[in-house]
Structures are given as C-alpha cells and as structure tokens.
Amino acid sequence: MRKRPVAKTRQRTVLISIATFLLGAIVGAVISLYVGQWFVALLPGPRVTASIKTIRGGSENTVRYLNYVIIITIETASRLHLLEGAIS
C-alpha cells in the first residue's frame, strides 16, 4: 500500500474546514435574516412603514430634475392598548 503525502492531506483538511465555515456563515446569515423578519412581525408594537416616491419637475426649468419624497408612517400606541384589552 502506498501512503498519501501528509502535506496534501493537511491542505485538504484545512480547505474543507474553511469551506465549511464560509458555508455555515452564509447559511446562518440568510436564515437569521428571514427568522428575524418573521419574529419582529410577531412582536406587539408600533408598525413602521416607509416608502420613496419620485416626482419629476413640472416646469421647463426643472424637467431634468427628480425630486424624492420619503414617507415614514408610524402607527400610534392606541392600537397597542386595544390589543392589550382584547388579550387580557
């Protein structure tokens, strides 16, 4: 029987370890993003929504310009009190 060189086996082990770590880090990050979004949606609290709208200039001087409107909406705490009353 021929023995394999020790250096190649060690290199392969190190490469497999690095590949396993990288794959685990990527899969863990993706799973935590999805689980985090699902978990935060279950939490009671004010809901926040955000949107961005573009508005083109209306006059001749502003035809080439785009205006951006950022809208952030936060629900009031009164909804939370209604939920607490319904639960208890």
CA distance 44 to 12: 49
Decide: 46 and 77 in contact? Cβ < 8 Å.
Answer: yes
Contacts of 46 (CB under 8 A, 6+ apart): 74, 75, 76, 77, 79, 80
**What does the pLDDT look like over 42-80, one tens digit per residue?**
777 777 788 888 887 777 776 677 888 888 888 765 555
pLDDT of 3 above 80: no
**What does the pLDDT look like over 16-49, one tens digit per residue?**
999 999 999 999 999 988 888 888 777 777 777 8
Output the pTM of the full model.
0.40
